[in-house]
Amino acid sequence: MNFFIILFLFFSLFSITFSHETFNSHLLPRPLIIEFPQTIETQFGKSIDELQLECSSWRFAVESNNLSPWKTIPHECADYVKDYLMGRAYRFDLERVSKEAIKYAKSVELGEDAKDVWVFDIDETLLSNLPYYADHGFGLEVFDGVEFDKWVDKAMASPIESSLKLYEEVLKLGFKVFLLTGRSEHQRGVTVANLINSGFQDWDKLILRATEDHGKLAATYKSEKRNEMVEEGYRILGNSGDQWSDLLGSSVSIRSFKLPNPMYYIP
Ligand SMILES: [Mg+2]
């Protein structure tokens, strides 16, 4: 008899405990999310927090052109740069540039003579070579022109959607669109194919490096080409590029829009 009383009491207690836990789930210990210890040391002898701070400071110096020249991304920032490019932040930054550029493009009054120009760079401005750089450490490796040209020849770079939006907008507004790229003249065919299959349908000029331009710094080559535009009577009102060498030098645009690129630096 005693055994049955003990059994009854045990089940009663279990039932009370169970219902208490079920209906008072707020009493469960908090937090239920396991936090990754940010103070844990990385292979570089710094905490994850510290590395995050240092790498975002490095990226700011890159984008503001305070750090120049530079050859490769810092070894300890490899994961940081990869996460930035593959996550939402890069796209957010690209969209921000495009939005501001569209705002400006809509605000200017164009002349009647169809001489107002918007200049676009191509790589990492209109077309993204992320698949290529993903295979080459996102800037961890020193730039290999031969390998990159093989990628360009495939005409598989993807459109930067926010830039396509700006592109279509400036065309609609009546700007002349001049594409000014560091790619070589012999890559014209694949470049045209890649632009068209990415949705960039119309442009007024596509300027590539001719034989005499090889060996020139990008900043010099692009300045010379802009000088020619100005000599032809064009007014450069907007310029979009991912490198400062797309934007600085002579005959600079009234407004320049710098797209993010923490992967490489072209002087
Ligand atoms: Mg570029």
The pair of structure tokens assigned to 115 is 């001489």
Mean per-residue pLDDT over the chain, rounded:
90
**Sequence-ordered alpha helix ranges (H) in 64-111:** 78-86, 88-107
CA of 214 relative to ligand 1 center, distance in Å: 16
CA of 50 relative to ligand 1 center, distance in Å: 31
Say how many residues make up the chain.
267
Measured distance CA(13)–CA(19) in Å, rounded? 10
CA of 38 relative to ligand 1 center, distance in Å: 35
CA of 19 relative to ligand 1 center, distance in Å: 64
CA of 264 relative to ligand 1 center, distance in Å: 9
CA of 113 relative to ligand 1 center, distance in Å: 29
More confident residue, 26 or 251: 251
Residue 21 pLDDT > 60: no
Mean pLDDT lowest for which of 29-38, 51-60, 100-109, 120-129?
29-38
CA of 127 relative to ligand 1 center, distance in Å: 9
CA of 126 relative to ligand 1 center, distance in Å: 8
| Stated pTM of the model | 0.85
Residue 47 pLDDT > 50: yes
Amino acid code (one letter) for 118: W
CA of 173 relative to ligand 1 center, distance in Å: 24
CA of 203 relative to ligand 1 center, distance in Å: 17
Ordered by where they begin, the domains of the chain are 48-258 (3.40.50.1000)
CA of 257 relative to ligand 1 center, distance in Å: 12
Give the H/E segment covering residue 166.
helix 161-173
Residues of 176-194 as b/e, b for ≥16 C-beta within 10 angstroms? bbbbbbbbbeebeebbeeb
Amino acid code (one letter) for 112: E
Helix axes 88-107, 78-86, angle to 10 degrees: 60
CA of 183 relative to ligand 1 center, distance in Å: 9
Under a CB-based contact definition with an 8 Å cutoff, are residues 240 and 181 in contact?
no
CA of 148 relative to ligand 1 center, distance in Å: 13
CA of 232 relative to ligand 1 center, distance in Å: 24
How far CA 32 is from CA of 18, 25, 35, 80, in Å, comes to 19, 12, 9, 27
CA of 237 relative to ligand 1 center, distance in Å: 19
CA of 160 relative to ligand 1 center, distance in Å: 12
pLDDT digits (tens, 9 = 90+) for 252-265: 999 999 999 999 99
pLDDT score of 1: 45
Phi, psi of 18 (to 5 degrees): -60, -50
CA of 65 relative to ligand 1 center, distance in Å: 15
The pair of structure tokens assigned to 188 is 């014209």
Q: What is the torsional sign of CA 243, 204, 166, 92?
A: negative
CA of 229 relative to ligand 1 center, distance in Å: 20
Residue 133 pLDDT > 60: yes
pLDDT tier for residue 251 given thresholds of 50, 70 and 90: very high
Measured distance CA(232)–CA(110) in Å, rounded? 17
CA of 181 relative to ligand 1 center, distance in Å: 7
More confident residue, 188 or 42: 188
